Structure 1
Amino acid sequence: MFSLCLKSGLNNRLGNRFKAVTQSRNFTVKGFDLKSSGVDKRTLANAERRQKTFTDRSQLKFARRLVVKLGSAVITREDGNGLALGRLASIVEQVAECHHEGRECIMVTSGAVAFGRQKLTQELLMSLSMRETLSPSDHTREDAGSILDPRAAAAVGQSELMSMYDAMFSQYNVKIAQVLVTKPDFYNEETRKNLFCTLSELISLNIVPIVNTNDAVSPPMYIHDDTVVPGTGKKGIGIKDNDSLSALLAAEIQSDLLIMMSDVDGIYNKPPWEDGARMMHTYTSKEQVQFGQKSKVGTGGMDSKVNAATWAMARGVSVVICNGMQEKAIKTIISGRKVGTFFTDHVTSSSTSVDIMAENARVGSRALQRLSPTERASAILSLADLLVNKKDVILEANSKDLEVATRDGLAKPLLNRLALSEGKLKTLSIGLKQIADSSYENVGRVLRKTRLAENLTLQQVTVPIGVLLVIFESRPDSLPQVAALAMASANGLLLKGGKEAAHSNKALMDLVKESLSSVGADDAISLVSTREEISDLLAMEKHIDLIIPRGSSDLVRNIQKQSQHIPVLGHAEGICHVYLDRDADPAKALKIVRDAKCDYPAACNAMETLLIHEDHLNSSLFTDICTMLRNEGVIVHAGPKLSSQLTFGPPPAKSMRHEYGALECSIEVVKDLNEAVDHIHKFGSSHTDVIITENESTAKQFLSSVDSACVFHNVSSRFADGFRFGLGAEVGISTARIHARGPVGVEGLLTTKWILEGTDHTAAEFNEGRRTWLHEKLPVN
């Protein structure tokens, strides 16, 4: 049997592959012990293989053997004239990358008929042109393509297709081999064994096999689904197109992953052009699907793809159906991103689709809008009380996270952010009660009221933005804060927390759900606990209206870079300055600088650069500041101007635009206020900047000149915080220049809409002079 050939040719490679894969998956065959039950090795292998289907997209990175099927729609240009060479080049590049990563790749490709038809059509057109010149006939140039025999086109195109693949793969130093198959190859046991032995040997020789049906000598192949293949005793699959061919090959060679590339994004619950059609990112055998028409250029429709995919899945092959026209589709799928439709039978009740969560959040937002301010406030007050009343449950969950994080070596600043305490929960509760108090004056507040004309009144009122996605790291206390702000502003909310706080986040989300259920808006807020990549969430522009990252500057910067269509509210860096003016009080300076740098150095509002007026270099204040920082364990770096004035001093700073996020800072000297302001504008991040001075005139000039979200006089930069501002909490700090800026509370989560009320007014009446504009401002109360 061919399986013996596979075993002998690939024993070591399969062993290593399965060893790597099994480290990430739990393989058990339920019900009995196969090894001791007397079953033969083939049954054991098949049963084991059925258990090896990947259960989650994040596991696809472990796939070692891939079958990539290219449908006719992927191979062929949209106009039907020849092959899509640019698209093919990209796919070849991805397959070559997978090959060089050590993955074993097989391609199943269409395209021979299309390639041959393109070449023969050109020859036939020339022939027809000559005939028309010598002897006019009824034939036209449009007839050329239609009168070609597909088998002749395949015979011509096959060699051309392989030459093209050979040229493309050779650029990446990858060797390929052509394998043509026909119907008898699967009916006859001898040729069937030879076929898979050949594939086995090619893979072992580090060659990429490219498989296609030999359309030049055989009609379309039909073996009815689940009929017994003669001479094998095995049930086959109807090999009537490359979908079923790729499924059969993937199953027989024990492939980890089959990627079926077509001209559709994936499987929809009904034809995509019909109302109510929904993309299914995950498909199980229990799904109900209505199939539409077949591809315009291929032989297989969606029904054949689904049948082939489920057949392969039942035999231990993970399958993804995707759009081959999407850029880097293969590499994106292997990275675990939510591209195409992933076939699996291992879906648990907890793996609710993020799309569904977002849709529920939209509905939940509208439910919150319909509530009275008192009802929204009651939900927040309920959550505030639960934080105190159920503190034992929360702290127990948090201790589990801390235990795991400590064992895994999480950095101390992150451990501090992760840790909850009874005191923290009490402070959270107080902040939430402040947010509840603000609920009475937020949603539906009239900002402007104008009488446009008699009996025609216009109002501008506040409304929620819609659905928010808040991505946060380490700090589980962010969850109830952000949830309360969403309730107060009537926004739907998706929360994506870090895995290091998984237990804490779940415990807190249970309390959020409990508080929401009291007002009938259970689904308005959800915790995304599945393994969706952040990049997938950032692509949900149809469901999410605003993204707010909370965490390190790297996280915020990456989110801002990745989000293409959804606006991001946040700050990429917290490069905060404290300027010691010539008229600074030394005692105040020492106190404020110590707090700004040392109170919580990992915070985004911590001081990163200390600017000192040059007059202080010859005073005791400079020495006292440096001594205090050294005693606090702060590593100091000197700016260029300070370094030039000191013979011995701190090492030079590598950059004046750097967020240390630790007990580390830069010191630079400036000659006056204007130079300090210029330095802040050049190297700062428009977050929070401070002046320490007793000169009121200088202070006012600094406060008006510095273009940052927060500008302070004689106070620590650490006051840049929603709770300390009396907002109850913040969803983040924004350095953007539109919408919200600085600590963002409830008001920053609102937008506006215009409400116009009249009787029977029409615009034409004003154009014709039958009505008169008034534009009279009215009091909003």
Structure 2
Amino acid sequence: MLSDVEGLYSGPPSDPQSKIIHTYVNEKHGKLISFGEKSSVGRGGMQAKVSAAANAASKGVPVVIASGFATDSIITVLKGEKIGTLFHNEANLWACSKEATAREMAVAARDCSRRLQKLSSEERKQILLDIADALEANEDAIRSENDADVEAAQVAGYEKSLVARMTLKPGKITNLARSIRKTADMEDPISHTLKRTEVAKDLVFEKAYCPLGVLLIIFESRPDALVQIASLAIRSGNGLLLKGGKEVMRSNAILHKVITGVIPDTVGKKLIGLVTSKEEIADLLALDDVIDLVIPRGSKSLVSQIKATTKIPVLGHADGICHVYIDKSADMDMAKRIVLDAKIDYPAACNAMETLLVHKDLNKSEGLDDLLVELEKEGVVIYGGPVAHDKLKVPKVDSFRHEYSSMACTVEFVDDVQSAIDHINRYGSAHTDCIITTDRSAAEAFLQQVDSAAVFHNASTRFCDGTRFGLGAEVGISTERIHARGPVGVDGLLTTRCILRGSGQVVNGDKGVVYTHKDLPLQ
């Protein structure tokens, strides 16, 4: 049903305080809305629309009131996407106001985070150690729920790469617990002083770390991400909202239960909220007044959509198009080990190799031939750029900007190290890129000129990981240039505050202040 407004509003559509009612519940909204000459939602014509829509819905016919000015309104409704106001005969059975639920969770998480920050460093550390113990103690239950998710995904015909990311493989819980213990043993970041300066006599300036506030993590198919992010949120003193994919709903639920089960009442279990209602991502992204940072973990489309539709700062990466460049001076035995590991160790990982660049002089060399044969023997499908397609007689790649996330890769020949650098900066995703060479000058040029979050020399791209770097668990890998870049650990979840300790000083036009600006030792 089309209207001259976007749907049914809680007040006059022209009033900035009015909010669109996405789902009409007669028991809730019927008595709050008046129509006619003093209609609070527009002209009296809306009353007829609401009456007709409610009548149809009561007879089992869902109705959507949407804007007739939007050219794609009907298509959007048919796609099942949120638009306008929905009338449904079971609306009264659904959860109450979606936005209110999310807002309440965010506010509760902030309150709990403030209580968490009041604890001593040892008390916060103990919470993490208890979580690690609880994960190991409940491994069988966690694996059982994860197996159920994986089986359902396989029956539904999900892609193998997605199923791989969903799966908590043997040893994963142990590794997660080990990572949490390492995070617990890190120096306490909260209130850590970065700088102390004597501004004037008895007037001392300090800059110190402090938590960001409330984090929203939206992730697909990676239940281990829930554990990593929860541990980092606790260590950094932040509240947390988690919105996981429906494909790992059971895994997320059991992990959330295990983790919050050991959070003491002095902090509150609402420190970490798991959004399991019908809440849509758009609802959460609208809460820019109560959520301080969004970290998306998932597909390129998910990350791009989030960046385009929220006012909340977003930390993350959309693509993982990682390159390995084999220079003409490379040790080919080393090159084979690195390339095979970068591609085969975990093909679905964001730090897996997607493009192999090779110096043109290595074409038809025994070392390269052996490497390509080994890749194919392992089941890797090879596609070629324009040059490699012709020389290697392999299928031609459609685009260099392609992330396979599977047992496939692109191969291309380049003229020299500078050509490799230019190719990566043009077609890469600024994630992780590697050069294999014995030429130190070529290596340094590559390390300095490739504009990526992580740049390696003679090491697999798979090393780009917070735990492997010794940073503890990570919330993800950021290719952004502001705030945090590369694997984001505890430091990436902190901001700074300025503290000034005085003894009654006033500015008064700077007449009575003698500025010394003397650096002081950190305390």
TM over 0.5: yes
In the superposition, the TM-score normalised over structure 2's length comes to 0.88
Aligned to 1:511, what secondary structure does the other structure show?
A: helix
Corresponding residue for 1:537?
A: 284
Please give the alpha-carbon distance, in whole angstroms, between the structure 1 residues aligned to 2:244 and 2:61. Answer: 28
Question: Could you report, residue by residue, the CA deviation over 1:733-774 in whole angstroms, capped at 9, with x for unpaired residues?
Answer: 1011111001111111111111112121111152x2x22111
Please give the alpha-carbon distance, in whole angstroms, between the structure 2 residues aligned to 1:635 and 1:547. Answer: 35
- Name the count of aligned residue pairs: 514
Corresponding residue for 2:261?
A: 514
Out of 189, 203, 210, the residue aligned to residue 456 of structure 1 is 203
Out of 324, 341, 345, the residue aligned to residue 92 of structure 2 is 345
CA distance change for structure 1 residues 754 and 289 in 2, over 3 Å: closer, same or farther?
A: farther
Corresponding residue for 1:710?
A: 454
1:405 paired with 2:144, answer no
Out of 182, 185, 190, the residue aligned to residue 434 of structure 1 is 182
- Aligned pairs (5 A) from 1:372-771: 372-438=120-186, 440-561=187-308, 563-643=309-389, 646=391, 649-764=393-508, 766=510, 768=511, 770-771=512-513
CA distance change for structure 1 residues 520 and 507 in 2, over 3 Å: closer, same or farther?
A: same
CA distance change for structure 1 residues 666 and 599 in 2, over 3 Å: closer, same or farther?
A: same
Aligned to 1:345, what secondary structure does the other structure show?
A: helix
Please give the alpha-carbon distance, in whole angstroms, between the structure 1 residues aligned to 2:47 and 2:105. Answer: 26
Corresponding residue for 1:238?
A: none
- Aligned pairs (5 A) from 1:187-198: none
Please give the alpha-carbon distance, in whole angstroms, between the structure 1 residues aligned to 2:362 and 2:54. Answer: 76
After TM superposition, give the deviation of residue 589 of structure 1 in Å. Answer: 0.5
After TM superposition, give the deviation of residue 479 of structure 1 in Å. Answer: 0.9
CA distance change for structure 1 residues 426 and 572 in 2, over 3 Å: closer, same or farther?
A: same
Question: Contact 2:8–2:21 (CA<8 Å) still a contact in 1?
Answer: no
After TM superposition, give the deviation of residue 350 of structure 1 in Å. Answer: 12
Please give the alpha-carbon distance, in whole angstroms, between the structure 1 residues aligned to 2:188 and 2:52. Answer: 55
**Larger deviation, residues 323-332 vs 666-675:** 323-332
CA distance change for structure 1 residues 543 and 338 in 2, over 3 Å: closer, same or farther?
A: farther
Question: Contact 2:12–2:40 (CA<8 Å) still a contact in 1?
Answer: no
Question: Could you report, residue by residue, the CA deviation over 1:325-371 in whole angstroms, capped at 9, with x for unpaired residues?
Answer: 99789667784538669784214599881221122122222222222
CA distance change for structure 1 residues 329 and 414 in 2, over 3 Å: closer, same or farther?
A: closer
Q: What letter corresponds to residue 355 of structure 2 in structure 1? A: T
Please give the alpha-carbon distance, in whole angstroms, between the structure 1 residues aligned to 2:291 and 2:10. Answer: 28
Corresponding residue for 1:780?
A: 522
What runs of 5+ residues in structure 2 fail to find an aligned partner? Answer: none
In the superposition, the TM-score normalised over structure 1's length comes to 0.60
Question: Contact 1:553–1:574 (CA<8 Å) still a contact in 2?
Answer: no
Question: Could you report, residue by residue, the CA deviation over 1:412-459 in whole angstroms, capped at 9, with x for unpaired residues?
Answer: 222222222441111110011111122x43111111111111111111
CA distance change for structure 1 residues 508 and 674 in 2, over 3 Å: closer, same or farther?
A: same
Q: What letter corresponds to residue 454 of structure 2 in structure 1? A: C
CA distance change for structure 1 residues 597 and 287 in 2, over 3 Å: closer, same or farther?
A: same
CA distance change for structure 1 residues 728 and 633 in 2, over 3 Å: closer, same or farther?
A: same
Corresponding residue for 1:300?
A: 39
| C-alpha RMSD over aligned residues | 3.5
Please give the alpha-carbon distance, in whole angstroms, between the structure 2 residues aligned to 1:682 and 1:610. Answer: 15
**Larger deviation, residues 659-668 vs 282-291:** 282-291
Question: Contact 2:66–2:73 (CA<8 Å) still a contact in 1?
Answer: no
Q: Highest Rg: 1 or 2?
A: 1
Please give the alpha-carbon distance, in whole angstroms, between the structure 1 residues aligned to 2:274 and 2:232. Answer: 15
Aligned to 1:668, what secondary structure does the other structure show?
A: strand
After TM superposition, give the deviation of residue 511 of structure 1 in Å. Answer: 1.3
CA distance change for structure 1 residues 348 and 585 in 2, over 3 Å: closer, same or farther?
A: same
Please give the alpha-carbon distance, in whole angstroms, between the structure 2 residues aligned to 1:693 and 1:286. Answer: 71
Aligned to 1:494, what secondary structure does the other structure show?
A: strand
CA distance change for structure 1 residues 279 and 526 in 2, over 3 Å: closer, same or farther?
A: farther
Question: Contact 1:375–1:519 (CA<8 Å) still a contact in 2?
Answer: no
Corresponding residue for 1:30?
A: none
